[in-house]
Chains A and B, each alone.
Chain A
Amino acid sequence: MAIYQKPHALEDVSMHFCPGCTHGIVHRLVCEVIDEMGIEGDTIGICPVGCSVVSYDYFGCDMIEAAHGRAPAVATGVKRSRPDKFVFTYQGDGDLAAIGTCETVHAATRGENITIIFINNTIYGMTGGQMAPTTLPGQVTQTTPFGRDPKVAGYPVRICEMLSTLTGTAYAERVAVDSPAHINAAKKAIRKGFEVQKNEQGFSIIEVLSTCPTNWGMTPLESMERLRTEMIPYYPLGVYKDITAEK
């Protein structure tokens, strides 16, 4: 009897992501949560612009493609018109933390009852490895060829910390997908986000520290090591906001 296999909500297709890219892991986790909650038929997902732009072909629920950064606004329109549906966005760091910062912050502060899956891999992947708002100081990218100099390019954005200051944010957790233990914890966090939405408690965001072996110029295994030794110290894992744990 097969016990660990492709979740139903994940379409049975080969994903286009580069070898070792962790997008696929997060896709599976979201779909496992959708399966376990039995909500595939009542879920509407919003895709970003970036490497996961064609994820509408991978998620089995109804899907909408948003303009770059606008997924939280699109999700707002979806949720307000169909409040009985589960609505999630799947966004990368350029999409969510640069061009879509305004939409993200305001969806959070409104307490919009949606769940955001935020992939932070410190780089623009699809366009070929430029500096992201989350690129670490000193990190070499196509547009920071001498390493990100905060004097010129500013400092990385810590999204969970920032959004957790907003009253409308119900749940904010940062997780990673560098090990089976962290991946299991990431799944629990995603489940928590969807549960918060189910209970109409407001805005939830799960920030997933991820890798980009291709644009980091590393093997998948080296990428995991970088995630552990460089990213986690700058972006500490943990629950930053949980209104269900308060009171």
Chain B
Amino acid sequence: MAKMTVNTEKCKGCELCVSVCPKKIIKIRKDIRTPKGYCPAECTDQAQCTGCAMCFTMCPDCAITVER
């Protein structure tokens, strides 16, 4: 069972993770702001996450952790 989590202290909402997710289950939360004022990424459907870590690989801020 894979799990992707975003550290909202570090996420800058750049959307690079969104663009590479093969399952298209990462979205930008336009309704919330991180402490730095960015809209963070979030996994919308953990059940579908395969733990491929494409999002982790692409993240410029080391804000993503992937467990599986």
B contact residues vs A (CB 8 Å cutoff): 9-10, 12-16, 19-20, 36, 38, 51, 53-54, 56-62, 64-68
Contact = CB atoms under 8 A, between A and B. Distances in A.
Interface in A1-60: 1-6, 10, 14-15, 17-25, 27-28
Interface stretch (A62-70, A93-101, A111-119, A178-186): A178-186
A22 B56 contact: no
A65 to B, nearest CB: 22
The range of chain A's interface size is 20 to 34
A172 to B, nearest CB: 24
Given A3-B66, A14-B10, A20 B60 contact: yes
27 contacts: A1-B68, A2-B66, A3-B66, A3-B67, A4-B53, A4-B57, A4-B65, A4-B67, A5-B66, A14-B61, A15-B10, A15-B61, A17-B61, A19-B14, A20-B12, A20-B15, A22-B60, A23-B60, A24-B59, A180-B20, A180-B54, A183-B58, A220-B14, A220-B15, A220-B16, A221-B15, A224-B16
A141 to B, nearest CB: 22
B60 A25 contact: yes
State the majority secondary structure of interface residues on A.
mixed
Nearest to B52: A180
Contacts of B51: 3
Contacts of A213: 14
Contacts of B16: 20, 220-221, 224
B64 A4 contact: yes
B29 to A, nearest CB: 15
A16 to B, nearest CB: 10
Contact of B60 (A1, A24, A179, A219): A24
A10 B68 CA distance: 22
